[in-house]
Structure 1
Amino acid sequence: MSSTYVHYSTPSSLPSDYALLSRYAAAHDLNTNEEEDINGAGPSTDIEDYGEEYDAHGIDIRGSPRRPRRSSFPSSYLTPFNPTIGPLPDRLGHRSGPYARELNENTPLLAPLVPRIEEECDEEDTAEPLTTSKLYREEIGILTKYTIPVFGTHLFEYSLVVASVISIGHLSTTALAASTLGSMTASVSGFSIIQGFASTLDTMLPSAWTSSQPQLVGLWSQRMVVVMTAALVPILCVWWSSESILLFLKQEPEVARLAAVYLKWASIGLPAYAFNSISRRYFQSQGLFTVPTRIILGVAPVNAVLNYLLVWGPEPIRLGFIGAPIATAVSFNLIAIMSVIYGVFFVPKTAWHPLSMRCFTSLGVLVQLGLSGVGQVASEWWSWELVGLAASQLGPTALATQSVLLVSASTTYQAPFALSVASSVRIGNLLGEENPTRAAVATRCSILMSLVISAVWSTMFMVFRANWAHLFNDDPEVVSLVASILPWVSMFQVFDGLSAITAGILRAAGKQFTGALLNLSAYYVIGIPFGIWLAFWHDMKLHGLWIGLTVSLVYSAAFGIWICLRANWDREVEKVRIRLEADNKPANGHGDVEAPH
């Protein structure tokens, strides 16, 4: 969310959540072509049994089940890129890198090696038939392993923002208001746009990693750096001229001045923030989900110390108000530096593409998908800014209640959001593996897991609704109002989680434009107008706003699930294959061709 709700779980303007409270308190298939090359047996029929390979007469020609899928998650690290030559059955039980093709008269001399990462299902007894229930269990297990480190990453990322809020919150009411306004402006004009463009990599990188051209992961990341650099120019122009813009929008002069100061110092960390949104996806697409978690875990304590020293520390180093945005900017830069060090020295170079002029090619794909991604992400962030403004018209009690509810919903949203990231990577990997059947199963599993997670949060809110507000505020009116709206928030959890999952699935399939249309229609055509109508014309106040939000997410989740469950994953695999073939042409000397999407 933005000012009060951080969808995509990045440091947007979450400080305003806490600022409001502080202010109130103070007042398919299994890559058949590769198996053909490995066995030298020529093409096999398209029999989808997940366990055996047949000849043209349907007879098992291998004598043992073949692997159902490529693996794509490390238990704690990426296995060394160390091909092993030998008979295929000998290499199924243990492998330390990609399968190496057996040499025979039919094997291409330059046959590509496909990077693999160990999965638990790779070590299972291959003689056991792969039933539907086992397939679902495997996918649920893989998605769970992917989700946990992503969840940790975003929780630690919260600390970067919370430390800034705490440090500024005790300076003055004006400073608190300025930081709120500054962070809201940063979210609307900067962070949401960066995250929208970066979401394009959820489409490009996972499928490239499990294809025969894993170096395209590095190439697409380099291309996104070029696109993001261009996008930063207008954002920085807005931030550096923000005082005049805020004054034009009738903000208080002193608050506008301090907010502009906040943005100018925060802009030091903006390029690093953009780079981090790329590097995180670079690691995650390879299954290295724990890398961003380790990095931010190391930076979070440094950020807390910097906030204290620069805002409240000893006189020689104390900077006061500007210390908080400087501390956050330094933390973003530290994350960027550590990401580069980790990528250079601790991760195999399988995914890296040497720096070349190719990073300036095929940028149109990223721009087109990126603009759709901005529509998908920013439309949601901006909608919550509007809801926050509407709530501010209902009085201080409603405003404090809104902040309690949205901070709570922000926190619980981290789990389904982490699952959406995991689903996006997993499905993208499977598309690159040309495995549409598993992609379809992963889609269904992620939706089912979202329902389970949402049920846990909904139950928690309902059980503790009478006392939930005491975690934030002890005002009897706030406690009572929070308790009366929490049943709607409980229902909201279910559809919010489903919307998050379907958004991740759509990103994996390159359907950001569809996601943008869903969000725009859900929030701006249905949810917000309906909520405002209930709140102000039917005097339902804050209840009306939350009913409108819930209705918008019911619509978004229902259509999103319908689209995802009806997806033609064979067609999505074909789209990935076409894109990879098009991007391979420059390397073969045929000239650059913009990759289709």
Structure 2
Amino acid sequence: MDGSGLEERLVEEGRSRDGNGDLKKRVWEEWKTLWRIALPSIIFRVTAFGIIVVAQSFLGHVGELHLAAYALLQTIFLRFINGLLAGMSSATETLCGQAYGAGQYHMMGIYLQRSWIVDGVTGSLFIPLFIFATPILRFLGMEDDIARAAADISPWFIPFLGSLMFSMTIQMYLQAQMKNLIIGCVSAFSFALQLFLSWIFVTKFSWGVAGAMSAMNIASWSLVLGEFIYIFGGWCPDTWTGFSKAAFSDIFPIMKLSISSGIMLCLEVWYFGILVLMAGYMKNASTAISAFSICQNILAWELNMCLGFLGAACVRVANELGRGDAKAAKFAMKVNLCTSICIGVVFSILCLVFGRRLSYLFMSDEQVAASVSNLSFLLSISILLNSVQPVLSGVAVGSGMQSLVAFVNLGSYYGIGIPIGVLLGYVAHLRVEGLWIGMLCGVAMQTLALSFIIYRTDWEYQVKKASERLNKWVLKPSNGSGYSFMHA
């Protein structure tokens, strides 16, 4: 689509939101736009996370110790780094979304390249965590058998980490310009590829840990390769004009926004990791870790669906703020929130109905199944809260309020959730259920705080801030091959 075509479409979208049409028509148009963004994003997030879960599922059939070791590595190390990189990539989502809404299409490729630089440097700093995983787990007090089993798994996470540095930022970049279909298709293919390879490597060839982890890495890099082919192959002519030295300009302001975005999500992700770590100090640690991890993976799988609505909320709010339409941004938020809540109710009910059977997706141990069954009611409440909180976070990201949300997460999770979880789990002897209740309290407080912040937001002021941000960092193509600064 050329630049003039994009401008015409934006004009038409603006006319559809001018308030002259009836409410049903406006809701229907917004709902269609929402699903155009959210559905491919949901497919991407669910299948991308599904790659991690499939590896865990196959490792669970290799042995309980390997399952527990993988759960610790994934929850404590990988989820922490994944959350940090995902949060830092949300800065790309904010900038690309607002640039797209403002018609500054050429800046989107520059923002993408800057995000590769920032995320690449940051991700590389955490590689030693996987190299020295076993001594780190021993230092944290984990059982020696689990720590030794982690040594067989941890090196396989290093190439997977490399794929994350690219896949997340590219997904944000494509999503901001409504090129979501390719994201869903490529991620679905990579997920199917992993299922096939895992079955071949683990079930047929009996390669064990090496088979499950190599299948995970092949699938994750096939996703990145597909995204590269789409971008470099000429399917983003307005927003990708090739590599440029301009990507190295304004790195520090981008880094500041990226770090605040990373801390925002990292505090949330690490919160869940700490709870799994605390489960490792309980009696019969491998059962406690396995049950808690299984429930968290089910919760995370549903959460990744809701993160599709987070992405949609971020894109729609960022687009409208960049376009200068505060009322349309608020309207998009309301439609998104109502849709996500309805879906959350459905999955919450399904969780209550199936309860104990959930654990058999991962392993057949009866003790783990009983522990998972005891957590099913709390899991259903968590799923319901997850249908609200991500949308509110997406609105905040689209508005560029990452730093404020980071403080909310810090207070809600670490000031309220973890202390309550420790008291209930260890002092009141509620064990895993106590930890989960503490987690729920933290999420509930975060949801209430975000609701208050969004309710009190001055959207006209957010439009002004978006305009100032875009005008400050905008570059325009020069007559040569590079870019030159343009100040508004």
Smaller-chain TM-score range?
0.7 to 0.9
Q: Which amino acid aligns with 1:457?
A: F
Q: Secondary structure at the match of 1:129?
A: coil
Partner of 1:39 in structure 2? none
Distance (Å, rounded) in 2 between the aligned partners of 1:446 and 1:552: 23
Distance (Å, rounded) in 1 between the aligned partners of 2:398 and 2:108: 14
Aligned mate of 1:426, from 316, 319, 323: 316
Distance 1:448 1:308, change over 3 A: closer
For residue 277 of structure 1, report the CA deviation from its aligned partner. Answer: 0.8
Does the alignment pair 1:239 with 2:130? Answer: yes
Partner of 1:298 in structure 2? 189
**Mapping of 1:397-412 within 5 angstroms?**
401-412=291-302
Distance 1:401 1:160, change over 3 A: closer
Q: Which amino acid aligns with 1:202?
A: E
Distance (Å, rounded) in 2 between the aligned partners of 1:568 and 1:165: 45
Higher CA-based Rg: 1
Partner of 2:222 in structure 1? 334
Distance (Å, rounded) in 2 between the aligned partners of 1:273 and 1:467: 32
Partner of 2:7 in structure 1? 98
For residue 497 of structure 1, report the CA deviation from its aligned partner. Answer: 2.2
Aligned mate of 1:150, from 26, 35, 41: 41
Unaligned runs of 5+ in 1: 1-79, 84-95, 100-114
For residue 563 of structure 1, report the CA deviation from its aligned partner. Answer: 1.0
Distance (Å, rounded) in 2 between the aligned partners of 1:269 and 1:554: 32
Distance (Å, rounded) in 2 between the aligned partners of 1:542 and 1:257: 24
Distance (Å, rounded) in 2 between the aligned partners of 1:349 and 1:450: 33
Residues 230-260 of structure 1: per-residue CA shift (max 9 Å, x gap)? 1133112333343443444345667545534
Distance (Å, rounded) in 1 between the aligned partners of 2:294 and 2:181: 31
Distance (Å, rounded) in 1 between the aligned partners of 2:197 and 2:398: 37
Does the alignment pair 1:344 with 2:266? Answer: no
Does the alignment pair 1:383 with 2:271? Answer: yes
For residue 138 of structure 1, report the CA deviation from its aligned partner. Answer: 2.8
Contact 2:71 2:293 survives alignment (8 Å): no
Distance (Å, rounded) in 2 between the aligned partners of 1:492 and 1:271: 31
Does the alignment pair 1:416 with 2:306? Answer: yes
Q: Which moved more, 1:163-172 or 1:469-478?
A: 469-478
For residue 128 of structure 1, report the CA deviation from its aligned partner. Answer: 9.4
Aligned mate of 2:402, from 502, 512, 520: 512
**Mapping of 1:582-593 within 5 angstroms?**
582-584=472-474
Contact 1:197 1:228 survives alignment (8 Å): yes
Distance (Å, rounded) in 2 between the aligned partners of 1:166 and 1:117: 48
Distance 1:163 1:484, change over 3 A: closer
Cα root mean square deviation, aligned: 3.4
For residue 520 of structure 1, report the CA deviation from its aligned partner. Answer: 1.3
Contact 2:101 2:322 survives alignment (8 Å): yes
Partner of 2:330 in structure 1? 440
Unaligned runs of 5+ in 2: none
Contact 1:364 1:594 survives alignment (8 Å): no
Distance 1:547 1:299, change over 3 A: closer
Distance 1:453 1:368, change over 3 A: same
Distance 1:509 1:156, change over 3 A: same
Residues 557-587 of structure 1: per-residue CA shift (max 9 Å, x gap)? 1110111122222222222212222223575
Contact 1:295 1:338 survives alignment (8 Å): yes
Q: Which moved more, 1:501-510 or 1:145-154?
A: 145-154
Q: Secondary structure at the match of 1:351?
A: coil
Contact 2:56 2:362 survives alignment (8 Å): no
Higher RCO (CA 8 Å, separation ≥ 6 residues): 2
Residues 13-64 of structure 1: per-residue CA shift (max 9 Å, x gap)? xxxxxxxxxxxxxxxxxxxxxxxxxxxxxxxxxxxxxxxxxxxxxxxxxxxx
Partner of 2:459 in structure 1? 569
Distance 1:388 1:441, change over 3 A: same
Partner of 1:528 in structure 2? 418
Distance 1:97 1:197, change over 3 A: closer
**Mapping of 1:182-201 within 5 angstroms?**
182-188=73-79, 190-201=81-92
Residues 175-201 of structure 1: per-residue CA shift (max 9 Å, x gap)? 444433433454155322221211211
Partner of 2:256 in structure 1? 368
For residue 394 of structure 1, report the CA deviation from its aligned partner. Answer: 4.5
Q: Which amino acid aligns with 1:290?
A: L
Distance 1:594 1:457, change over 3 A: farther
Contact 2:57 2:363 survives alignment (8 Å): no
Distance 1:214 1:128, change over 3 A: closer
**Mapping of 1:114-513 within 5 angstroms?**
116=10, 129-188=20-79, 190-251=81-142, 255-256=146-147, 259-311=150-202, 313-314=204-205, 320-345=208-233, 347-396=235-284, 401-464=291-354, 485-513=375-403
TM norm structure 1? 0.72
For residue 507 of structure 1, report the CA deviation from its aligned partner. Answer: 0.8
For residue 516 of structure 1, report the CA deviation from its aligned partner. Answer: 1.1
Distance (Å, rounded) in 1 between the aligned partners of 2:18 and 2:78: 53
Q: Which is richer in helix?
A: 2
Q: Which moved more, 1:231-240 or 1:364-373?
A: 231-240
For residue 217 of structure 1, report the CA deviation from its aligned partner. Answer: 0.8
Contact 1:503 1:560 survives alignment (8 Å): yes
Distance (Å, rounded) in 2 between the aligned partners of 1:455 and 1:163: 26
Residues 148-185 of structure 1: per-residue CA shift (max 9 Å, x gap)? 22222223224422332243333344444443343345
Q: Which moved more, 1:333-342 or 1:582-591?
A: 582-591
Distance 1:186 1:473, change over 3 A: closer
Distance 1:568 1:513, change over 3 A: same
Q: Secondary structure at the match of 1:98?
A: helix
For residue 225 of structure 1, report the CA deviation from its aligned partner. Answer: 1.0
Contact 2:471 2:487 survives alignment (8 Å): no
Q: Which moved more, 1:274-283 or 1:439-448?
A: 439-448
Residues 280-317 of structure 1: per-residue CA shift (max 9 Å, x gap)? 11110111112111111222232233334444555xxx
Distance 1:232 1:531, change over 3 A: closer
Residues 109-134 of structure 1: per-residue CA shift (max 9 Å, x gap)? xxxxxx75986x97x7x999324454
Distance 1:262 1:473, change over 3 A: closer
TM norm structure 2? 0.87
Distance (Å, rounded) in 2 between the aligned partners of 1:332 and 1:256: 25
